[in-house]
Copies of this chain bind each other. A is one copy, B any other.
């Protein structure tokens, strides 16, 4: 409770942000109070514009400023390779690696009966339509290494049964680079032994 109700309200609002308590929220609010009016207006405007004008890419469901997102629009990218991810944060994570030059498909979630999310809630139909309409060579599943991620991958995989020319892969699971073997959990270590990769002396 502060001496100002306006301050109190603003702190309450910032405290709704993930991982932010009232103490940090107060720090944010006092910081904004110190800024000049134009700077605060710019701050407000950026949130307003985002919420009002942002769209979903009609092809891959990534967030986008226009009808198609910058990745789908980029002719330098390989549109015949689609990486299937759970949400847009995963796209950002993969893009940050600079190791992928294909396009994406955002499911918008993962099959999770516990949370009441079934296949119908995800962008699966649009993925199947996309494959019918465009020439696609490979589908890469980049889903969480959890039961839900595996279930979702397997569910979609079964839908592709009749597509024999399609290469379907999933990202490798194994020990993290830089990690000690002794500190890696058994499941991960087991998987990394089963999925061992042959040394290639020509590389």
Interface residues, chain A, with chain B CB atoms under 8 Å away: 2-7, 9-10, 12-13, 16-19, 24, 26-33, 37, 40, 42-44, 46-51, 53-54, 57, 62-65, 69-71, 88-89, 91-92
Contacts and interface: CB of A to CB of B under 8 A. Distances in A.
Contact of A47 (B27, B43, B91): B43
A43 B13 contact: yes
A53 B8 CA distance: 13
22 contacts: A2-B63, A3-B64, A4-B64, A4-B65, A6-B53, A6-B54, A7-B54, A7-B63, A10-B46, A10-B50, A12-B46, A13-B42, A13-B43, A17-B31, A18-B27, A19-B24, A29-B50, A32-B50, A33-B50, A33-B54, A44-B44, A44-B48
Q: Is chain A's interface secondary structure helix, strand, loop, or mixed overall?
A: helix
Contact of A49 (B9, B50, B53, B89): B9
Given A4-B54, A51-B37, A18 B9 contact: no
Given A32-B50, A32-B51, A2 B92 contact: yes
